[in-house]
Structure 1
Amino acid sequence: MGGPRGGRCAQNFRDVWNTYTYYHLSVFFFTFMSYALFHATRKTFSNVKSLLEDEWTPSNHSRYDGLYPPEVWDDHNFFPNEDKTEIYLGNLDTTFLFCYAVGLYISGFLGDRYNLRYVLCSGMMLSAIMVFTFGCVGKWAGVYSVYYYGVLWGLNGLLQSAGWPTTVAIMGNWFGKGSHGVIFGVWSANASVGNIIGAFLAASVLHYGYQYAFLVTSVPLFLAGIVMFFTIVEHPKCVGLSSPDGKDNLTINVKANLVDDNDQREVTPLLKPTSDPDIPTSPDHSVMVYSTKQQTQNRVVHFFKAFCIPGVAVYALSYACLKLVNYSFFFWLPYYLNKAYPSWATPTEAALLSTLYDVGGIIGGIVGGIISDLVGRRCPIVVTMLLSAMGFLFVYQAYGDTPTKNAILMAMAGVFVGGPANLISSAISADLGKQPALKGDSEALSTVTGIIDGTGSVGAAIGQTIIPIINIKTNGWEWVFYFLMGMLFCSALFLSELFYRDIRSLGGVLCNRLRSYSTRSKHQ
C-alpha cells in the first residue's frame, strides 16, 4: 500500500481534490437534492398502494371500520375485487414508466441543446403540480375516475423525466472522468435517499389519509425547483472555470470550425498546452482557438449517432432488464410486505421497512464505484454484482418471513441490485457520454443518459404490468421472484461480451506487471 503505486494514487487523489471549488460542492449538493426530491414523490405512490386498494375496492374496508361509514368506501370503489385493483395499480406504474421513458429521450435531446437549468427546474415545478393534483385535489374535490388518475400519472412521468439526464449532464460538466466512479457512486445515492425521504414523510402522515403523503412530498419539490433556478450553475465556463477533463468547449469547437473556410477568424492562443495532434497549435504548443460566429454553439450529437456510440446499446439493453428488477422493488416492495406478512407489516411499517432496500442501494453504489475506479473497469464489477443478486433474491423470498431476517436480506438485495443500477445510470452513462468516440463533436452526456435511462424505463414499464399478472395467476409471490432472477441473468448476459473483453484486458495488464516485477527481481 505504501509503494510507488499507492503513492501515485494518493497524489492523484490530492491533485483532483485540490481542483474542487465552492461551485463543485454546490452543484453536487443541489443536483443531489433535486433528484432525491423527484424520487420522494415517486415513492409516495408505492407507499400508499395498499390504502388506495382499500378505498377503491368495496369489500376491503374493514381496516377502517370506525373511521368512515362503509357507504363512503362503497361510493368510491372503482373495481369489484382486489385482483382488478392490483392490475390497475400495476397499469398506473406502467403508464408512468412508459411516459417517463418517452420523456427521457426528449429530455436528453433538449438537455444537450438548451439551458440545462431551464429544463430541470421546469420539470421539477410542473411535476410537483401533477403530484399534488393527483393525490390531493382528486381526494379533496371528490374526483373518482380511472381516467383522471391515469392521465395525471402519465403526465407526471413525462415531466419527471427532466430530472435524470439534466442532473447527470450538469454533474458530468463539473467532475472529470477519472473521478466518475467515486463521485458518481456517492452522488447516485440520490434516488435511494429520495426513496427514504419519501417513505418517512409518507409514513408520518398516512394515519391522516393518503392525500397528505402526496402533499408533504410535492410541496418541497416545487420549492426546490424555484431555489435551483436561482442557484445552479450548469457548466464551469459560466463562472470562468475550465472543464474538468482539461478540454474546454472552445477547444472542441476548433475541430468543428476548421471545416468552414468562409468564416472570419481571430486567432488567440489558449494558455493550456495540448498534445492532441488534431488540434492546431502555435510554435509554443499552445492551442490556437479560432473565434467564429458559431464559436459559442457546440455541435450536438444526434439521437441515432449517440445510440451507436460503443457501449451505449448493450448497456441500454442491460439496464432495461436491471431497471425492471430495481423498479419492481421500488413500486411493489411496501405492497408485497403488507400483503405477504400482514401480521407484522402494516402499511406504515412496510413503508419504513422498505427503506432498508434503498440503504443497501446506497452502499452498493458507493462501494461499486470505488472498486471500479481502482480496477479501471466497470463492467466486471457490474456483472459480478448482478450474478450475486440472483442468489440474494432467492434467499430473500425463501427466508424473509420474520422482520429481522427480512430486513437483513432486503438490505443485501439492495446492495447487489441497486448498486449496479446506480453505476449504469450515472457513472457509466457519464463515461459513455464523454468518451473519445465523439471526436470533434460536443459532449453527449444528456442524450446518452436519456437513451440508457429511457430504454431502462421501457423495460421497467413492461415489468410492472407483468408482475401483478404473475402474482394473481400463480396465487403467490414466489414466481414473481423467479421472474426477477431471470431478468437479472438477462441483464448480465447483455454485458457478457464487454465482460469477456475487460477480463482479458485486466489479465493482460496483470501479466505485464508480473513480468515487470520478475524482471526487476532478477536485476536486483
Structure 2
Amino acid sequence: MVNYKMSEISSENISSDVPEELKSRRIQIFFTVWVTYMIYYIGRSNISVAKPFMMEEYGISTTIFGSIGSAFFYAYAFGQFFNGFLGDKLGARRMVSLGLVVSSIFNILIGGFGQNVWLFGIFWGLNGFFQAMGWAPSVKTIANWFPPKERGKWSSRLGTSYMIGGSLAWVIAILISNTFGLSWRFVFIIPAILMAIIGVFNYINVRNAPEEAGFSTIEEESEGNVKKGESKTDEYLGFKYTLKAIFTNKTILFAAFGLFCLNMVRYGITEWLPTLIAFESTDQLTIWKIVAFPVGGAIGALTCAKISDKYLKQRRMPIISVLFGLLALSLFIYSKIPQVNLIIGVPLLTIIGFLTFGPHALLVSTIPMEFGTRKAASSATGFIDGWGYVGAAISTQIVGIILESEGGLQTAYLFWIIAALAACVILMFNWKSVPKKKEFL
C-alpha cells in the first residue's frame, strides 16, 4: 500500500491537466449515479400518494399507517448502518444495483398483496432495508472519482437526485391514480418496472473508482501522476479503519444529530403532506404544492454548498445551523396560513424545501466525503443517514398519533419546529469545523 500524507498533498494541487477521457468518464459516472439514485425514490415516495386511497379502501387509521411508515424507516436506518460499512468493503456497483432491483420486487409484491395490512407492513419494512443500499455507496463513488476541491460542487449536485426523485415519484403516482384512474396498486407496480431497468443500467455503466477503470487514483492525480494503465481494485482498509474514521471525528457525530432532527421535519412533511392536503384531483394548486417542496430543496442544495465553499472556506456548520433556525420560523408561519393558499402557501413551501434540503445535502453528502475521506465515505454516510432515519421513524409514528389527537395538525407543526430549533442550537457548538489533513483524500 502506498501512503499519501495530506501534509504533502493539498487539494489545490490536484492537477488541472486532466485527460479529456477521465473528465468525460467522471461526468458519465456522475450522471449514472444521479439517475440511479433518483429512481430509487419512485419506489419509496410513492407510498405518500397511495396512502389516502389505501386508508379509505381498507379503513387503515393514521396511527397504523404511521407504524407502517416507521417500520420502513427503522429498517432503512439499520440498513444504512449496516450497508454503509459494507459499501466501503464491496463497492457501490454491486450494492446499488442489487438494492434497486430487490426494492422493485417488494414494490411489485405490495401492489399484489398490499390489501393485507400485515403483509404490507412486512414488505414495506423489507423494502426499507434494500432501499438503504443506495445512498451511502453512491456518496463513496463520487468521493472516489472527484478530487477534494470539487466535492462541494458535485456532492450538492448529487443531492438534487433524491429531491427531484421525490417530486418525480409524486407526479408519476398522481398521474397513475388520478389522471389515468388506475388502482393504487399500479402506483407500486409501474415504478417497480422502471427501477429494475435502471438497476441493470447502473451495473453496466458504473465503476467504483478511477483505478477500476484504469485511471490514476485521486492521490496519484494530486501528485501530477495522471495516466491510463491497467485496472485494479479500489483497496478496502478494513472495518477498524472505517470505525475509527467515524467515532474519532466529532463533526460526523454532530452531523448525525443534525440529521436526526432534520429528518423529523423532512419526513413528517413528505410522508403526511399529500394526506394533509387531502388532494382529490390533479388541479394546478395540488401539483404546484407537491412539486414546490422538492424543487425548492434542489435550489437549496446547490446554493448552500456554493456559499460555504466560496465564503466560509468549507465550513459547513454555520450555514446549516442558520438554515435550521430559519426553517423553524418558516414552519411557524406556514402553520398559520390556510393550507390551500396559492399566493402565500406555494412560495412558502418552496422556501421550506430550500431550508430543509440545503442543510440536508451538506449533512449526508458533503460532510461524509470531506470528513470520512474517500476510504470511509460510505461508512460515514451510513452512520449519519442511519441516525437521520431513526429520527424519520420516530417522527412518522408520532405525527400519525398526533393527527388523531385533539391538537391535530397544529401540534404536528409545533413538533417539527422544536426539532429544527434543537438542531440549530446544538450544531452551533461545531461552528468552526473544517476537514483535517489525513492520509487519504
Quickly name the TM-score band, shorter chain normalised: 0.7 to 0.9
2:205 aligns with 231
Maintained 8 Å contact 2:160/2:301:
yes
Matched, 1:325 2:265: yes
Residue matched to 2:30: 28
SS in 2 for 1:410: helix
Shift of residue 354 of structure 1? 1.2
In 1, Cα distance between equivalents of 2:244 and 2:14: 34
**Which residue of 1 is the match for residue 252 of structure 2?**
312
Aligned counterpart in structure 1 of residue 129 of structure 2, from 141, 158, 176:
158
Partner residue, 1:283: none
Q: 1:65 corresponds to which residue?
A: none
Correspondence for 1:427 among 366, 373, 376? 366
Cα distance between partner residues in 2 of 1:241 and 1:295: 11
Residue 39 (str. 1) matches residue 41 (str. 2): yes
Contact 2:246 2:372 in 1 (8 A): no
Following superposition, the deviation at residue 230 of structure 1 comes to 1.1
Equivalent positions of 1:29-428 (< 5 A) are: 29-57=31-59, 79=60, 85-134=61-110, 136-138=111-113, 144-206=115-177, 207-244=181-218, 246=220, 272=225, 297-302=235-240, 304-310=243-249, 311-338=251-278, 345-346=279-280, 348-349=282-283, 350=286, 353-374=289-310, 375-376=312-313, 377-401=315-339, 402-428=341-367
Q: Which runs of 5+ in 1 are unaligned?
A: 1-10, 58-78, 80-84, 249-269, 274-293, 339-344, 435-441, 504-524
Correspondence 1:470 to 2:402: yes
CA, structure 1 residues 362+189, in 2 after alignment: closer, same or farther (shift >3 Å)? same
Tell whether 2:383 aligns with 1:451: yes
Q: Which residue identity does 1:138 align to in structure 2?
A: F
* 2:424 corresponding residue in structure 1: 492
Query: Structure 2 CA distance, aligned partners of 1:424 and 1:125?
Result: 27
Counterpart-to-counterpart distance in 2, 1:196 and 1:179:
27
SS at the partner of 1:472?
coil
Compared CA separation, residues 17 and 271, structure 1 to 2 (3 A):
closer
Task: Calculate percent identity across the aligned residue pairs.
Answer: 24
Alpha-carbon distance change, 89 to 296 in structure 1, aligned in 2, over 3 angstroms: closer
Moved more, 156-165 or 192-201: 192-201
Alignment partners' CA distance in 1, 2:234 and 2:409 = 56
Distance in 1, Cα, partners of 2:384 & 2:189 = 31
Partner secondary structure for residue 144 of structure 2: helix
Which whole-Å CA distance do the structure 2 matches of 1:17 and 1:489 have between them? 44
Q: Deviations over 1:248-303 (max 9, x none)?
A: 9xxxxxxxxxxxxxxxxxxxxx9849xxxxxxxxxxxxxxxxxxxx9974322436
Deviation at 1:93, TM superposition (A): 0.9
Question: Structure 1's 384 and 52: CA in aligned 2 closer, same or farther, altered over 3 A?
Answer: same
What is the letter of the counterpart of residue 346 of structure 1? E
1:213-264 deviation per Cα after TM superposition (whole angstroms, max 9, x unaligned): 112211111110111111111100012222335479xxxxxxxxxxxxxxxx
Kindly tell me the number of residue pairs found equivalent between the two proteins. Answer: 407
Mapped partners of 1:404, 1:52: distance in 2 = 31
Amino acid at match of 1:420: P
- CA distances 1:472-520 after superposition (whole Å, capped 9, x unpaired): 2234211111110100111122312111x359xxxxxxxxxxxxxxxxx
| One-letter amino acid of the structure 2 residue matched with residue 42 of structure 1 | R
The residue number in structure 1 matching 2:7 is none
Which residue identity does 1:96 align to in structure 2?
F
Looking at structure 2, the residues matched to 361 and 296 of structure 1 have their Cα atoms a distance apart, in angstroms, of: 33
C-alpha separation in 2, matches of 1:12 and 1:247: 9
The letter of the residue matching 1:40 is I
Task: Give the residue type in structure 2 aligned to 1:427.
Answer: T
Q: TM-score, normalised by structure 2?
A: 0.87
Q: Greater Rg, structure 1 or structure 2?
A: 1
Aligned-pair CA distance for 1:115 = 3.4
* Contact residue 360 and residue 411 of structure 1 kept, 8 A: yes
- Runs of 4+ more than 3 Å apart: 11-20, 244-248, 270-273, 294-298, 301-304, 347-352
Report the RMSD for the aligned CA atoms in angstroms.
2.5
Cα offset, 1:15, TM superposition: 3.6
Equivalent residues of 2:288, 2:346 under 8 A apart = no
Measured at CA, do residues 174 and 111 of structure 1 come closer, stay the same or move farther in structure 2, by a change above 3 Å?
A: same
Cα distance change of structure 1 residues 479 and 272 upon mapping to structure 2, 3 Å threshold: same
Higher relative contact order, structure no. (Cα contacts within 8 Å, ≥ 6 residues apart): 2
Distance 1:23 1:497 in 2: 40
